[in-house]
């Protein structure tokens, strides 16, 4: 299998505090990878470092056979890395449609209309509320909008940071169904979750992150059966 993303020895700091202590991780083209871990383990920092909005202090990030460790965030989006950030981060006062248009900021104008129809097909509720300010949507709808906005960039690698956070179980199911559908359509997905059970259940492979280090790595199914994982993250 060819590796779309390979990270080696990656470190990142907030001031003097080390958030990532040498991460080694790969994502193969077309797979759904889950990263689980407790609060403060460094999951969000890792995704932000991959997107380039948090600087790496050491190690390297390679994507599609090129070194992007020092690339600008906008260049990484152009290369096909899109992120759905933690907490959704929609442009609240702007209309749903404007949020999606901005998601396609790096794409030619002609492509954007077609991509937007695809997003509306995936999340029809967004089409109904296209003219309303994003800030007036419910939490679940905002999450759909955040995913839709990332899809507008036509990503080859989609980074999802805690898409189930703060959502009712039914909505979590809907979001996860959409993620599986995206994977089937060929998008490579890197899913970061505190909801380890749901994430590992749909993942091909999974990593467990603790205090800035990868401590376990296996297939999703095997991790679900792993005693350490069951005890620490599944509450069994």
CB of 93 vs another protein, minimal distance in Å: 6
- Which phi and psi (to 5°) does residue 33 adopt? -110, 135
- Residue 226 interacts with another protein (CB under 8 A): yes or no: no
From the CB of 92, what's the least distance to another protein, in Å?
5
Distances (CA, A) of 4 to 50, 75, 107, 158, 234: 12, 16, 21, 11, 29
> How many other CB atoms are found less than 10 A from the CB of residue 123?
20
Contacts of 87 (CB under 8 A, 6+ apart): 162, 165
- Among residues 190, 199, 189, the alpha carbon closest in space to that of 221 is found at 199
Report, in Å, the least distance between residue 86 CB and another protein. 10
Contact flag: residue 153 with another protein (CB under 8 A): yes
49 binds another protein (CB under 8 A): no
With binding defined as CB under 8 A, does residue 128 bind another protein? Answer: no
Nearer Cβ to another protein (85/220): 85
The three-state secondary structure class of 57 is coil
Nearer to another protein, 86 or 218 (CB): 86
102 binds another protein (CB under 8 A): yes
Selected from 67, 72, 114, 177, the binder of another protein by CB under 8 A is 72
* Residue 136: CB minimum distance to another protein, A: 6
Take residue 162 and report the two structure tokens written for it. Answer: 């805690």
Q: Is 43 in the site for another protein (CB under 8 A)?
A: no
* Cα R_g (the chain), whole angstroms: 17
Query: Which range touches another protein (CB under 8 A), out of 3-11, 150-158, 169-177, 227-235?
Result: 150-158
Q: How many Cα atoms occupy the beta-carbon half-sphere of 175 within 13 Å?
A: 30
Q: Does 168 bind another protein (CB under 8 A)?
A: no
If one asks whether residue 101 binds another protein (CB under 8 A), the answer comes out as yes
Burial 83-112 (b: 16+ CB within 10 A, else e): bbbbebebbeeeebbebbbebbebbeeeeb
Q: Which of 8, 40, 70, 105 binds another protein (CB under 8 A)?
A: 105
**94 is a site residue for another protein (CB under 8 A):** yes
DSSP string, 173-224: HHHHHHHHHHHHTT-EEEEEES-HHHHHHH-SEEEEEETTEEEEEEEHHHHH
Q: Which residues bind another protein (CB under 8 A)?
A: 15, 51-53, 55, 72-74, 77-78, 82-83, 85, 89-94, 98, 101-103, 105-106, 109, 133, 135-139, 142, 149-150, 152-153, 166
């Amino acid at each position: 299998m060819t590796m779309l993303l390979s990270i080696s020895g990656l470190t990142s700091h907030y001031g003097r505090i080390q958030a990532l202590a040498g991460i080694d991780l790969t994502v193969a083209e077309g797979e759904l990878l889950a990263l689980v871990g407790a609060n403060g383990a460094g999951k969000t920092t890792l995704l932000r470092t991959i997107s380039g909005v948090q600087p790496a202090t050491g190690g390297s990030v390679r994507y599609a056979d090129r070194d992007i460790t020092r690339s600008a965030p906008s260049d990484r989006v152009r290369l096909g890395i899109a992120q759905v950030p933690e907490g959704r981060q929609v442009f609240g006062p702007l209309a749903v449609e404007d949020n999606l248009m901005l998601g396609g900021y790096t794409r030619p104008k002609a492509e954007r209309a077609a991509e937007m129809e695809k997003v509306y097909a995936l999340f029809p509720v967004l089409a109904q509320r296209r003219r309303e300010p994003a800030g007036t949507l419910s939490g679940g709808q905002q999450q759909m909008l955040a995913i839709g906005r990332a899809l507008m960039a036509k990503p080859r690698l989609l980074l999802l940071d805690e898409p189930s956070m703060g959502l009712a179980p039914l909505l979590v199911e809907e979001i996860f169904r959409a993620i599986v559908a995206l994977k089937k359509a060929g998008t490579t997905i890197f899913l970061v979750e505190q909801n380890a059970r749901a994430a590992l259940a749909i993942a091909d492979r999974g990593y467990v992150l603790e205090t800035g280090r990868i401590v376990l790595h296996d297939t999703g199914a095997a991790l679900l059966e792993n005693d350490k994982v069951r005890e620490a993250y599944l509450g069994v």
